[in-house]
Amino acid sequence: MSTLSLQGILIKKNSIENIENKEGKKWKKQTFVIQTDAEYNNQICFQLFGEDKITILENHKEGDKIEVFFNISSKEYNNRYYHNIDAWRINPINNNEKIDEENDPNTQNNNLPF
Where are the domains positioned within the chain? 4-92
d(CA 19, CA 24): 9
One of 2.40.50.140, 2.40.440.10, 3.20.20.220, 3.40.50.300 is the CATH number of 4-92, namely: 2.40.50.140
pLDDT mean over 68-79: 96
Is the pLDDT assigned to residue 18 strictly greater than 60?
yes
d(CA 11, CA 29): 18
> How many Cβ atoms are within 10 Å of 46's Cβ, its own excluded?
21
d(CA 48, CA 87): 6
Residue 46's nearest CA partner among 89, 92, 76, 81 is: 89
Look at residue 96 in the predicted model and tell me its pLDDT. Answer: 58
Look at residue 112 in the predicted model and tell me its pLDDT. Answer: 54
What is the reported pTM? 0.77
Residue 3: pLDDT band (50, 70, 90) is confident
